[in-house]
Chains A and B, each alone.
Chain A
């Protein structure tokens, strides 16, 4: 039996005729502007890092959907109807605003990185420093979204009281992978990493789609 929150999310899952709002169009244009700006400045590896973060999140969103439909109860994180209205709920815990946000976050986080890959901050490798700091900030914001009711957490291992799993598998892999892909010696290698992540996502989405887990 699906939880109340999950049932409300299922009612709007991929129903744009019920949820679409005009505000999403200017946000889409802002995203296009950001990508165009980075391409104009030839920051291709920043974009590759951003795509890697977006792809890692899509992996998490897919297995979150699997948990919902295999358990018949709830996703690990959900975005219910009626709170923080979305323009389009793509997967059970993944809306179009989250999707755009993660691409922007990936690009922004890679832009923060010092050019010197070996530079240390407070005695720590700067990539690790940024991954840890940004993960912590992102988890704090997630906790606030959960407190506000926009993100529902219904499993006992994924709660504000026990944020460790959110920290370790919710955000740290996103930033770590984005910085790893950004730092590849050549753009070709960065793009190969992106292709591997997105290819894996695509296979998982196809398999889950046929299994009825989306």
Chain B
């Protein structure tokens, strides 16, 4: 079930995905 390994994968994936959103949105807002 929700073991440490699974949690680590989900947290790492979330960080990577949200970092991508952060980089992109920073670039979009920089133009304003």
Contacts and interface: CB of A to CB of B under 8 A. Distances in A.
Interface stretch (A11-19, A38-46, A104-112, A176-184): A176-184
A165 B13 CA distance: 11
Chain B interface mostly: helix
B29 A183 contact: no
A187 B23 CA distance: 19
Contact of B1 (A71, A168, A177): A71
B9 A180 contact: no
Interface size class of B (residues with CB under 8 A): 20 to 34
Interface in B1-32: 1-3, 5-6, 9-10, 12-14, 16-18, 20-21, 23-25, 27-29, 31-32
Interface of A: 56, 59-60, 63, 66-67, 70-71, 73, 76, 117-118, 125, 127-128, 131, 155, 165, 168-169, 172-173, 176-177, 179-180, 183
Interface of B: 1-3, 5-6, 9-10, 12-14, 16-18, 20-21, 23-25, 27-29, 31-32
